[in-house]
Structure 1
Amino acid sequence: MNDRDAGQNRQTDYVRIDVGVLIVGAGAAGARTAIELAEAGVEDVLVLGKRGHGDAHTTWARGGINGALGTHDPEDDWTIHAADTLKEGHFLNDPEKVEAVTRQMPDRLRELDEWGMAFSRTEDGEIDQRYFGAQSFRRTAFAGDHTGESMLDTLVERARELEIPYRENVMITKLVSDGWTCYGALGFDMDTGEFLLFDADHVVLAAGGYASIYDRHTSRDDENNGDGPALAYDAGATLLDMEFVQFHPTGMAVDEADPDWAPWSGRLVTEAVRGEGGRLYNADGERFMERYSPDQMELDARDVVARAIATEIDAGRGTENGGVYLDISHRESEFIRERLPRMSERFAALGVDMADGPVEVAPTAHYGMGGVEVDDDGQTDVENLYAIGETMAGVHGANRLGGNSLAETVAYGVVAGSHLAARSDGAGAIPESLVGSVVEPHFAGLAATADTDGETEIRDLVTELQHVMWDHAGILRDEAGLRSGLDAVADIRRRADDAAVGPPSSESFEFAVDLGFMLTAAEAVLRGALERTESRGAHYRTDHEERDPDWQCNIRLERADLGRMRSETVPIGSPSEAVQAALDAGYELDYHQLE
């Protein structure tokens, strides 16, 4: 009997916890949903976080949060915000979801302000707003360059005031579902290794996206591994537009051999640096965006700037560390420290003064525009299962407008929370048939995975998968590379069964669970990218370089027999008359106002 067989006979006791609404994910989306429920008088709520309270990926969103307040540009309004979002998304967005976000955002910003968020201010004391890429007006509100951190601090404090129950260091590994209805979730305590069964009337997935399936990415390695989409897909929900992955133009390009710099590889250099006037130069000293986008320059859409940088690097005009230069040294030192405090502090700690010269940057995987398909209330096609924030699809289309990620979290937190607060029905207790067919076999499988010897280290497989995705489904894609990528993912999936894994409280066990999620997300990205034979937004096919009007549709992925992914295309809706009027008006950023 090998170790894995022996694991089947181990004790698989678990603790059962009953709850009305279980929120998986304690970032901004999960917190705002819980707040909405609590303010509506719903008490039977539990928020789960993989990390300590207040330690979520939201804190890494630095540049700002969009809302048409009109602080500097009073002609701006929510319809123009919606129009910019649709244009940036290359019209693959769900117009109703876009409007659900943009209509709300002025009120959501004022609400955060009332709750004490430390927004940067104008001389008149108003919430300040800055330019962000591809936006027609200054509508990105900010707190220096630590907006996400300040926002999450505000939401966590509000949740504490409302005494919302929270449990930290818990990882969800599977949803309890019969394919049509969700009854709860399974997981484990990451400190003790104890297995946990959450019997829930409703489950809300606010567990982030899937950018960490790539080698260079802006997340920490233990987050954004595709948990949310993979959990929903496994439960019977549908995935949408997974091929659209945003590669942020400016991640840190570093000397990987330098132990001080290596941990920062790919970490975000916020768009706020360019929003405050930062300029991009190649190794020849040329401000190259003049060739790619003479009107919008460094503040063109993220996909445009990222491809421009990648092209410069591929052409041999990159820096020693495989990037280009981002320079804001023409601004005063005091201005940089005031407007970009976290960036200036980070580089100063590494011995670089942003006021003295440029820093090196290169594209890095940042955000998944795709995710779980949901209705207007955030509910999936599995009854009682919701997905919000970066876990859901629909708002961003083929490319996300900078500043819209934080906006989506609070807006859809309100949407889902208010809908749940009005519901009195629920899934009810977990049927005994699912205890025998789903709960107990899953816990037995987790036990069998733990404390096993194998030929491969689990972290090595995670790293290999990330390299595969960068090489075969990165900024530039083609059919041969995508097919090779699918073969490589299938091979990693086979070898994962023979990996060395520690106990449930170990890091290797966490990454073994993560790898399963990542493999699902990776396959979905590759299959969607292979099927979409055009270039649109963040998806660029070198063998199909033009945008094809026949592909103005979404790609749905759902489970089929024998573990296969089945795809189909679905049409796009139409914007409202008000938003269409804003589109017809043709508003556009004039970058040269910054010069």
Structure 2
Amino acid sequence: MTRSSEQPPSSFQDESSVEQLHSSQPTEDDTQATSSVDYEHVSVPVLVIGAGAAGVRTAIELAEHDVEPLVIGKRDHGDAHTTLAAGGINAALGNRDPEDDWQIHAADTLKEGHFINDANGVETVANAMPDRIRELEEWGMPFNRTEDGKIEQRYFGAQSFRRTCFVGDRTGEAMLEALVSKARALEIPYRENVMITKLLSDGERAYGAIGYDMDDGHFLRFGAHAVVLAAGGYSGLYNRHSSRIDENNGDGVALAYDAGARLMDIEFVQFHPTGMIGDRYGEDWDGRLVTEAVRGEGGRLFNAEGERFMKKYSPDQMELDARDVVARAISQEISEGRDTENGGVYLDISHKDRAFLQDRLPRMYERFAELGVDMAEEPVEVAPTAHYAMGGVEVDFETGATAVENLYAVGETIAGIHGANRLGGNSLSETVVLGKVVGDHLADESYIGAPELPASQQRAASEHFRELSALSNGGSEDPQAVLQALGDLLEETAGIIRTEEGTKKGLERLEALNNRADNLVAGERTSRSFEYAIDLGFSLTVAKALFNGARERTESRGAHFRSDYPEKNEAWRKNITYRQTEDGITLDTTTPGEPSDVVSKALDADYELDYHQLE
């Protein structure tokens, strides 16, 4: 049987105001199709899966056009991965460097992405960002200020000018607070602690989603005119990563793929140069991000021999070269034995005044102080960590649409903006620009009222609920242990440096992990082991695409480095796409479009940061 909601979707402002809008009684067809399954059914005009910056900004745009969305998050509302984006958000305001403009921002993004970015998407983001920053300011985001009261801007790696706006080193947290505050004012409904496990789709069209309430375990079925995936990326597949625990496991990407959407650029995973070293700071801190703002404010890298080694890898841009360049340099120093006792290198900003660090890098200063390190007196130890997925779902940047009708995607779930390597400070920019784009488009579609769910999708939901129930029975494999093994496998064979042999072995060993995943035992639906079992399914799907793409791309470009093909090959100025067929995963290639004339002129001008301006 079905049941009505025990706890209706909450509003940012007034929980009781939305019960009638988002609860529906079961129909006769419902009951016949799912006679043995107990679940809650909810119908909404637009379902937004993901409650970080991209999802909330999409919902805000919809609400401002009088289209009511429902936002779903896996954690407590306001507690999204966006909060870990510490260093800043890019916009060519020209507050510090008046010669900067959006065309140069776009050119820097294309160069950093090694020209396989979607040029139209890049230009959309760069052009709109000054307005999005002013909007965030209006909504209460407390940016750092220059002496004359303008929004302050700092250097970030591979940027031609000071373009990164910031709130100390808690920019993502401050941004999400501003967005959530705006959403509360608009009384946008949300459901927290809900995990989506499958999209309702026939491969051509999306009809909604299904999942479960992580607090009490009851099943949920959502019908929607349109579904927006804003569920993050997949860098958390690696055991050493900068994401929060149990996040960025590829769920948004895998959900879209399973529904029939195409993926793109999955082989490109960015390894941030500076993650904390667990051997020194403890296992709980291993891989956690030391924001690029430390280097943007003048931090210097030294090996265990006291050599400022970036002088030999990048004498002009030094520590502020592209992230892939700095990460590989650190990896090289470590592999050649010039690492610290704890297996990293030193990041030193002790030449700056204590008051400066407390003002510009307060979170970093406080974090290390609590761990017994005074950043004003001594360096911290760092090493590369998996940080960001440039790949994801292929979308149309005019609308955010995927290849599946009524399915949209935004944020780190998508591919195309960042190409082969993301420019630091662009992740937050992408979320607010494209969230507005998707919301604008969906508002024009005039989605109103509760959609009808076809009987075929009702039956598909019932079958999936039975599959989920079976996870709590039988089997012998611990989901967390298999996830750990997958993370080890990716670190060993598809990390910063890759080879043909490594990716081949990776695919062979992945098959063994798939076999283990067929024999899982998970606890009750409210347990972490059940959540890990769901995560594992998503992660294995994305890992297979990653290994295949890393093996297919026989060159080195951006974050993808093949030691057996160490040079960039212009014949590979292509995107690899991934689609599901009867034979399994099928890879194709497409050629990215060209930038506009104005951005081409900015590229020809060849602007470039000279690090020594900081000295």
Task: Verify same fold: TM over 0.5.
Answer: yes
The 5 A counterparts of 1:88-237 are 88-237=112-261
Residue 528 of structure 2, aligned match among 507, 513, 516: 507
Q: Does 1:565 align with 2:581?
A: no
Q: Deviations over 1:517-542 (max 9, x none)?
A: 00011111111110000000000000
- Alpha-carbon distance between aligned partners in 1 of 2:484 and 2:62, rounded to the nearest angstrom: 39
Q: Does 1:416 align with 2:457?
A: no
The 5 A counterparts of 1:56-95 are 56-95=80-119
Q: Does 1:309 align with 2:334?
A: no
Q: Give the structure 2 partner of residue 396 of structure 1.
A: 418
Other structure's SS at 1:152 match? helix
Residue 433 of structure 1, aligned match among 435, 448, 456: 456
Q: What is the deviation of 1:39?
A: 1.0
Q: What is the deviation of 1:500?
A: 2.3
Q: Could you list the runs of 5+ residues in structure 1 that have no partner in the other structure?
A: 1-8
The 5 A counterparts of 1:290-309 are 290-309=311-330
- Alpha-carbon distance between aligned partners in 2 of 1:320 and 1:220, rounded to the nearest angstrom: 26
Q: Give the structure 2 partner of residue 3 of structure 1.
A: none
Q: What is the deviation of 1:456?
A: 2.3
Q: Give the structure 1 partner of residue 468 of structure 2.
A: 446
Other structure's SS at 1:542 match? coil
Q: What is the deviation of 1:592?
A: 0.3
Q: How many residues matched?
A: 580
- Alpha-carbon distance between aligned partners in 2 of 1:88 and 1:351, rounded to the nearest angstrom: 36
- Alpha-carbon distance between aligned partners in 2 of 1:279 and 1:155, rounded to the nearest angstrom: 34
The 5 A counterparts of 1:253-268 are 253-255=277-279, 261-268=282-289
The 5 A counterparts of 1:517-536 are 517-536=538-557
- Alpha-carbon distance between aligned partners in 2 of 1:255 and 1:453, rounded to the nearest angstrom: 37
Residue 358 of structure 1, aligned match among 379, 400, 404: 379
Other structure's SS at 1:490 match? helix
Q: What is the deviation of 1:232?
A: 0.1
Q: What is the deviation of 1:41?
A: 1.6
Equivalent residues of 2:229, 2:408 under 8 A apart: yes
Q: Does 1:12 align with 2:32?
A: no
Other structure's SS at 2:45 match? strand
TM-score using structure 2 length: 0.93
Q: Give the structure 2 partner of residue 250 of structure 1.
A: 274
Q: What is the deviation of 1:229?
A: 0.5
Q: Deviations over 1:180-225 (max 9, x none)?
A: 0000000000001010000010000000000011011001221100
Q: What is the deviation of 1:40?
A: 1.3
Q: Could you list the runs of 5+ residues in structure 2 that have no partner in the other structure?
A: 1-33
- Alpha-carbon distance between aligned partners in 2 of 1:13 and 1:175, rounded to the nearest angstrom: 18
Residue 304 of structure 2, aligned match among 283, 306, 320: 283
Q: What is the deviation of 1:425?
A: 5.6
1:181 maps to amino acid: R
- Alpha-carbon distance between aligned partners in 2 of 1:539 and 1:429, rounded to the nearest angstrom: 45
1:402 maps to amino acid: G
2:547 maps to amino acid: L
| Identical-residue share of aligned pairs (%) | 64
2:243 maps to amino acid: S
Q: Give the structure 1 partner of residue 613 of structure 2.
A: 593
Q: What is the deviation of 1:144?
A: 0.1
Q: Does 1:54 align with 2:78?
A: yes
Equivalent residues of 1:20, 1:202 under 8 A apart: yes
RMSD: 1.3
Q: What is the deviation of 1:455?
A: 2.6
Q: Deviations over 1:162-187 (max 9, x none)?
A: 00001100000000000000000000
Q: Give the structure 2 partner of residue 6 of structure 1.
A: none
- Alpha-carbon distance between aligned partners in 1 of 2:600 and 2:423, rounded to the nearest angstrom: 18
- Alpha-carbon distance between aligned partners in 1 of 2:447 and 2:175, rounded to the nearest angstrom: 32
TM-score using structure 1 length: 0.96
Q: Deviations over 1:429-459 (max 9, x none)?
A: 22102222x2111111001112x34332211
Q: Deviations over 1:81-131 (max 9, x none)?
A: 000000000000000000110011000001100111011111111100000
1:591 maps to amino acid: Y
Q: Deviations over 1:30-55 (max 9, x none)?
A: 00001111111212x10001000110
Q: What is the deviation of 1:306?
A: 0.2
- Alpha-carbon distance between aligned partners in 2 of 1:298 and 1:42, rounded to the nearest angstrom: 46
Equivalent residues of 1:10, 1:444 under 8 A apart: no
Q: What is the deviation of 1:252?
A: 0.3
